[in-house]
Chain A
Amino acid sequence: GAGVSQSPRYKVAKRGQDVALRCDPISGHVSLFWYQQALGQGPEFLTYFQNEAQLDKSGLPSDRFFAERPEGSVSTLKIQRTQQEDSAVYLCASSFGYRGTGGSDGGYTFGSGTRLTVV
Protein backbone atom coordinates (compact mmCIF):
# COMPACT_ATOMS: atom_id res chain seq x y z
CA GLY A 1 0.00 0.00 0.00
CA ALA A 2 0.88 3.66 -0.14
CA GLY A 3 1.50 3.99 3.56
CA VAL A 4 1.67 2.10 6.83
CA SER A 5 -1.82 0.97 7.78
CA GLN A 6 -2.85 0.19 11.36
CA SER A 7 -6.07 -1.30 12.65
CA PRO A 8 -8.19 -0.76 14.53
CA ARG A 9 -7.78 3.03 14.85
CA TYR A 10 -9.46 2.95 18.25
CA LYS A 11 -9.88 0.14 20.75
CA VAL A 12 -11.59 0.20 24.11
CA ALA A 13 -10.82 -2.81 26.27
CA LYS A 14 -12.02 -3.80 29.69
CA ARG A 15 -9.25 -4.39 32.19
CA GLY A 16 -8.10 -7.97 31.93
CA GLN A 17 -9.15 -8.38 28.30
CA ASP A 18 -6.67 -9.44 25.60
CA VAL A 19 -6.20 -7.20 22.55
CA ALA A 20 -4.49 -7.58 19.17
CA LEU A 21 -3.29 -4.62 17.14
CA ARG A 22 -2.43 -5.01 13.47
CA CYS A 23 0.15 -3.27 11.32
CA ASP A 24 0.40 -3.48 7.52
CA PRO A 25 3.78 -1.98 6.56
CA ILE A 26 4.65 -0.50 3.21
CA SER A 27 5.11 -3.32 0.71
CA GLY A 28 8.72 -4.44 0.51
CA HIS A 29 9.83 -2.72 3.69
CA VAL A 30 12.27 -4.93 5.54
CA SER A 31 12.26 -3.26 8.94
CA LEU A 32 9.22 -2.88 11.18
CA PHE A 33 9.03 -1.12 14.53
CA TRP A 34 6.41 -0.79 17.27
CA TYR A 35 6.33 2.26 19.55
CA GLN A 36 4.10 3.19 22.49
CA GLN A 37 3.09 6.82 22.94
CA ALA A 38 1.53 7.84 26.23
CA LEU A 39 -0.55 11.01 26.37
CA GLY A 40 1.64 14.10 26.16
CA GLN A 41 4.84 12.11 25.63
CA GLY A 42 7.07 11.16 22.76
CA PRO A 43 6.95 7.67 21.27
CA GLU A 44 8.88 4.99 23.16
CA PHE A 45 10.39 1.96 21.46
CA LEU A 46 8.79 -1.43 22.04
CA THR A 47 10.22 -3.89 19.50
CA TYR A 48 11.93 -4.24 16.10
CA PHE A 49 11.64 -6.82 13.30
CA GLN A 50 13.93 -7.39 10.36
CA ASN A 51 11.78 -9.40 7.98
CA GLU A 52 10.25 -12.12 10.18
CA ALA A 53 13.00 -12.04 12.81
CA GLN A 54 12.36 -10.15 16.01
CA LEU A 55 15.80 -8.69 16.65
CA ASP A 56 15.06 -6.38 19.55
CA LYS A 57 12.26 -6.65 22.08
CA SER A 58 13.99 -4.74 24.83
CA GLY A 59 11.23 -2.12 25.03
CA LEU A 60 8.34 -4.49 25.73
CA PRO A 61 7.23 -3.46 29.23
CA SER A 62 6.20 -6.88 30.47
CA ASP A 63 5.62 -10.47 29.42
CA ARG A 64 1.99 -9.51 28.75
CA PHE A 65 3.21 -7.87 25.54
CA PHE A 66 3.94 -10.06 22.54
CA ALA A 67 4.66 -9.17 18.91
CA GLU A 68 4.99 -11.29 15.80
CA ARG A 69 5.61 -10.91 12.09
CA PRO A 70 5.44 -14.50 10.84
CA GLU A 71 5.77 -13.90 7.08
CA GLY A 72 7.89 -10.78 7.19
CA SER A 73 5.07 -8.44 6.24
CA VAL A 74 2.02 -7.90 8.49
CA SER A 75 2.76 -7.62 12.20
CA THR A 76 0.53 -8.06 15.23
CA LEU A 77 1.12 -6.62 18.69
CA LYS A 78 -0.78 -8.56 21.34
CA ILE A 79 -1.38 -7.40 24.87
CA GLN A 80 -2.71 -9.95 27.33
CA ARG A 81 -4.69 -9.12 30.49
CA THR A 82 -4.72 -5.41 29.70
CA GLN A 83 -4.25 -2.94 32.52
CA GLN A 84 -5.07 0.76 32.74
CA GLU A 85 -1.42 1.74 32.35
CA ASP A 86 -1.47 0.11 28.90
CA SER A 87 -3.70 2.94 27.66
CA ALA A 88 -1.71 4.72 24.96
CA VAL A 89 -1.34 5.16 21.23
CA TYR A 90 0.53 2.26 19.65
CA LEU A 91 2.48 3.33 16.57
CA CYS A 92 3.90 1.08 13.91
CA ALA A 93 6.67 2.21 11.53
CA SER A 94 8.46 0.56 8.64
CA SER A 95 11.53 1.29 6.57
CA PHE A 96 12.95 -0.07 3.35
CA GLY A 97 16.47 -0.69 4.54
CA TYR A 98 18.01 -2.48 7.43
CA ARG A 99 18.71 0.80 9.10
CA GLY A 100 15.62 2.82 9.87
CA THR A 101 17.45 5.77 11.22
CA GLY A 102 19.84 6.98 8.60
CA GLY A 103 20.44 7.45 4.93
CA SER A 104 18.87 9.66 2.35
CA ASP A 105 15.65 7.66 2.34
CA GLY A 106 14.64 9.55 5.44
CA GLY A 107 14.22 6.54 7.65
CA TYR A 108 10.88 5.46 9.02
CA THR A 109 7.32 5.90 7.81
CA PHE A 110 4.87 5.83 10.69
CA GLY A 111 1.28 4.66 10.63
CA SER A 112 -1.52 6.69 12.21
CA GLY A 113 -1.54 4.49 15.28
CA THR A 114 -4.09 2.59 17.35
CA ARG A 115 -5.43 4.43 20.37
CA LEU A 116 -6.00 1.87 23.13
CA THR A 117 -8.11 2.82 26.13
CA VAL A 118 -8.35 0.33 28.99
CA VAL A 119 -11.32 0.90 31.28
Chain B
Amino acid sequence: GQQLNQSPQSMFIQEGEDVSMNCTSSSIFNTWLWYKQDPGEGPVLLIALYKAGELTSNGRLTAQFGITRKDSFLNISASIPSDVGIYFCAGPSEGAQKLVFGQGTRLTINP
Protein backbone atom coordinates (compact mmCIF):
# COMPACT_ATOMS: atom_id res chain seq x y z
CA GLY B 1 0.00 0.00 0.00
CA GLN B 2 0.89 3.65 -0.01
CA GLN B 3 3.59 4.66 2.45
CA LEU B 4 5.02 7.97 3.57
CA ASN B 5 8.62 8.25 4.73
CA GLN B 6 9.62 11.13 6.94
CA SER B 7 13.10 12.41 7.64
CA PRO B 8 14.76 13.01 9.90
CA GLN B 9 13.17 10.76 12.52
CA SER B 10 14.29 13.14 15.26
CA MET B 11 15.87 16.56 15.57
CA PHE B 12 17.63 18.25 18.47
CA ILE B 13 18.04 21.99 17.94
CA GLN B 14 18.65 25.21 19.82
CA GLU B 15 15.87 27.67 20.40
CA GLY B 16 15.78 30.23 17.61
CA GLU B 17 17.09 27.89 14.93
CA ASP B 18 15.20 27.14 11.75
CA VAL B 19 13.91 23.60 11.19
CA SER B 20 13.38 21.69 7.98
CA MET B 21 11.81 18.27 7.58
CA ASN B 22 10.47 16.34 4.64
CA CYS B 23 8.16 13.58 3.59
CA THR B 24 8.44 11.36 0.53
CA SER B 25 6.33 8.70 -1.12
CA SER B 26 6.76 6.19 -3.90
CA SER B 27 3.27 7.05 -5.13
CA ILE B 28 1.48 10.27 -5.99
CA PHE B 29 -0.61 12.13 -3.44
CA ASN B 30 -3.08 14.84 -4.47
CA THR B 31 -3.25 16.38 -1.02
CA TRP B 32 -0.53 16.77 1.58
CA LEU B 33 -1.29 17.50 5.22
CA TRP B 34 1.06 18.37 8.05
CA TYR B 35 0.01 17.64 11.64
CA LYS B 36 1.62 18.27 15.03
CA GLN B 37 1.05 15.98 17.98
CA ASP B 38 1.78 16.98 21.56
CA PRO B 39 2.23 14.33 24.27
CA GLY B 40 -1.09 12.83 25.31
CA GLU B 41 -3.02 14.63 22.60
CA GLY B 42 -4.32 13.88 19.14
CA PRO B 43 -2.73 15.30 15.99
CA VAL B 44 -3.65 18.88 15.11
CA LEU B 45 -3.65 20.08 11.52
CA LEU B 46 -1.02 22.74 10.78
CA ILE B 47 -1.07 23.16 7.02
CA ALA B 48 -2.98 21.60 4.12
CA LEU B 49 -1.63 21.59 0.55
CA TYR B 50 -3.86 20.85 -2.44
CA LYS B 51 -1.87 21.72 -5.55
CA ALA B 52 1.50 20.60 -6.89
CA GLY B 53 4.08 23.33 -6.39
CA GLU B 54 1.95 25.13 -3.81
CA LEU B 55 3.78 26.97 -1.05
CA THR B 56 1.67 27.77 2.01
CA SER B 57 2.52 29.56 5.23
CA ASN B 58 0.92 29.53 8.67
CA GLY B 59 2.80 31.96 10.90
CA ARG B 60 6.35 30.69 11.27
CA LEU B 61 5.51 27.49 9.42
CA THR B 62 5.90 27.08 5.67
CA ALA B 63 5.09 23.95 3.71
CA GLN B 64 5.48 23.05 0.07
CA PHE B 65 3.74 20.50 -2.14
CA GLY B 66 6.42 18.97 -4.35
CA ILE B 67 6.16 19.31 -8.12
CA THR B 68 6.30 15.55 -8.60
CA ARG B 69 3.45 15.16 -6.06
CA LYS B 70 5.60 12.57 -4.31
CA ASP B 71 7.08 14.79 -1.65
CA SER B 72 6.45 17.68 0.70
CA PHE B 73 8.54 19.86 2.98
CA LEU B 74 7.79 21.65 6.24
CA ASN B 75 9.95 24.47 7.52
CA ILE B 76 9.73 26.17 10.91
CA SER B 77 11.51 29.47 11.33
CA ALA B 78 12.94 30.83 14.59
CA SER B 79 11.89 27.84 16.69
CA ILE B 80 10.43 28.38 20.16
CA PRO B 81 9.90 25.91 23.02
CA SER B 82 6.24 25.30 22.18
CA ASP B 83 7.30 23.90 18.79
CA VAL B 84 8.41 20.74 20.61
CA GLY B 85 6.40 17.72 19.54
CA ILE B 86 6.01 15.16 16.81
CA TYR B 87 5.29 16.32 13.27
CA PHE B 88 3.45 14.02 10.88
CA CYS B 89 2.85 14.29 7.19
CA ALA B 90 -0.28 12.63 5.85
CA GLY B 91 -2.19 12.19 2.65
CA PRO B 92 -5.46 10.62 1.53
CA SER B 93 -5.22 7.01 0.47
CA GLU B 94 -6.08 6.58 -3.20
CA GLY B 95 -9.79 6.13 -3.72
CA ALA B 96 -10.56 6.11 -0.02
CA GLN B 97 -11.53 8.46 2.79
CA LYS B 98 -8.72 7.38 5.09
CA LEU B 99 -5.42 9.13 5.67
CA VAL B 100 -1.99 7.55 5.40
CA PHE B 101 0.51 8.95 7.93
CA GLY B 102 4.27 9.06 7.99
CA GLN B 103 6.12 7.76 11.03
CA GLY B 104 6.77 11.26 12.34
CA THR B 105 9.65 13.61 13.06
CA ARG B 106 10.24 14.25 16.75
CA LEU B 107 11.45 17.79 17.45
CA THR B 108 13.31 18.60 20.67
CA ILE B 109 14.44 22.15 21.44
CA ASN B 110 17.19 23.08 23.86
CA PRO B 111 16.52 26.45 25.46
The number of A-B residue pairs with CB atoms under 8 Å apart is 66
A112–B42 CB distance below 8 A? yes
Nearest-neighbour CB distance to chain A for B75, whole angstroms, equals 20
Closest A-chain residue to B50, C-beta based? Answer: A102
12 A-B pairs with C-beta separation under 8 A: A40-B104, A41-B104, A42-B103, A43-B99, A43-B101, A44-B101, A45-B99, A56-B98, A93-B42, A110-B43, A111-B42, A112-B41
A59–B98 CB distance below 8 A? yes
B98–A112 CB distance below 8 A? no
**B-side contacts of A43, CB under 8 Å:** 43, 88, 99, 101
Which of B13-21, B65-73, B76-84, B89-97 lies at the interface? B89-97
B44–A110 CB distance below 8 A? yes
Interface members, chain B 34-83 (any A CB < 8 Å): 40-45, 48, 50
* Closest 4 pairs (CB-CB, A-B): A110-B42, A42-B101, A101-B92, A45-B98
